[in-house]
Amino acid sequence: MPMTFDRSVKIAPSILSADFANFGAEIRAIEGQGADWVHVDVMDGHFVPNLTFGPPAVKAFRRHVKTVMDVHLMIAPVDPFIEAYAEAGADILTAHVEAGPHIHRTLQAIRGAGMKAGVALNPGTPAEAVAHLLDLAGLVCVMTVNPGFGGQTFIDMTAKIRTLRAMIGDRPVHIEVDGGVDPATAPVVVDAGADVLVAGSAVFRGGSVDKAEIYGQNIRAIRGAATAATNAA
């Protein structure tokens, strides 16, 4: 879908925490309960120690996504797979700056394939690693866990988010935070300048497609806490 840019708080549930035998219904359930984007975590068992979805699975998810499909590649190399994820229907394709020596070329190729280009930073990587990429990228993803698994403990990256927010200035670049986001940590990262909140366990916890209202409660709890931070700023 065509994407307009705004810095309002967006909740992007990660389907890594969904029922893997029921993705279509899970995607419809989270969107029905107020998700702004759908976050898809692609892992290769090489860049990160876990394996998830290839392009055919992501293409199958696309048929159910009515909002924005936000695909986070935790794979290396990235470039040989860009076309396949474009064909699978990704709106945003995010690659890690640590995934190879040519992140600039990778972002050019993602844009060239018609997607918004995202660049992700592991916790150990400084904000300055994206300094020369901010006119190419539409999103910077700040990892607040070491990537590979859902349900890990939040690592405070507030200083990095603040630095990025200042570096980005007026450019139309989202700051996404991924890992350990819940109603307690959401206001901290939004206050620092983040606008896209990825949340896996904090959205899916306690719910199911048959108890989708729990997803709604969880999404509203994160959004409410985050919006309070925006209003206080």
List residues near Zn ion by CB under 5 A. 41, 72, 178
Alpha carbon separation from 75 to 53, 137, 221 (Å, rounded) = 11, 18, 32
Considering only residues 171-200, where is the footprint of ligand DX5 by CB under 6 A?
Answer: 178-181, 198-200
Closest to ligand DX5 by CB, 88 or 202: 202
Indicate which of ligand DX5, Zn ion, none lies near residue 15 (CB less than 5 to 8 Å, by partner kind). Answer: none
Binding mask 116-145 for ligand DX5 (x = CB under 6 A): -----------------------------x
Helix (H, G, I), strand (E, B) or coil at 141: strand
Sequence-ordered list of residues with C-beta below 8 angstroms from that of 35, at least 6 positions apart, any chain: 11, 12, 13, 67, 203, 215, 219
Structure tokens at 222: 């994160």
Q: How far is CA 68 from CA 39, 50, 65, in A?
A: 8, 24, 7
Catalytic residue list contains 178: yes
- 227 counts as binding ligand DX5 under rule CB under 6 A: no
DSSP conformation class of 151: S
> Does 193 belong to an annotated binding site?
no
Catalytic residue among 36, 44, 70, 178: 178
List the one residue from 112, 114, 126, 151 that touches ligand DX5 (CB under 6 A).
151
135 is an active site residue: no
Q: CA 30: distance to chain centroid? A: 15
Query: Least distance to Zn ion from the beta carbon of 58, Å?
Result: 13
Residue 64 marked ligand-binding:
no
- Residue 67 CA to residue 62 CA, distance in Å, equals 10
Nearer CB in complex with Zn ion: 72/174: 72
The residues near 142 (Cβ < 8 Å, ≥ 6 apart) are 120, 121, 157, 160, 161, 164, 175, 176, 177, 178, 189, 194
One character per residue 32-71, x = contact with ligand DX5 (rule: CB under 6 A): -------x-x------------------------------
Rule CB under 6 A: say whether 152 interacts with ligand DX5: yes
153 DSSP 8-state letter: P
What is the spatial distance between Cα 224 and Cα 109, in angstroms, rounded to a whole number?
Answer: 37
Q: Name the catalytic one among 41, 70, 91, 195.
A: 41
Binding residues for a divalent metal cation: 39, 41, 72, 178
Residues near ligand DX5 (CB under 6 A):
14, 16-17, 39, 41, 72, 145, 147-152, 178-181, 198-202
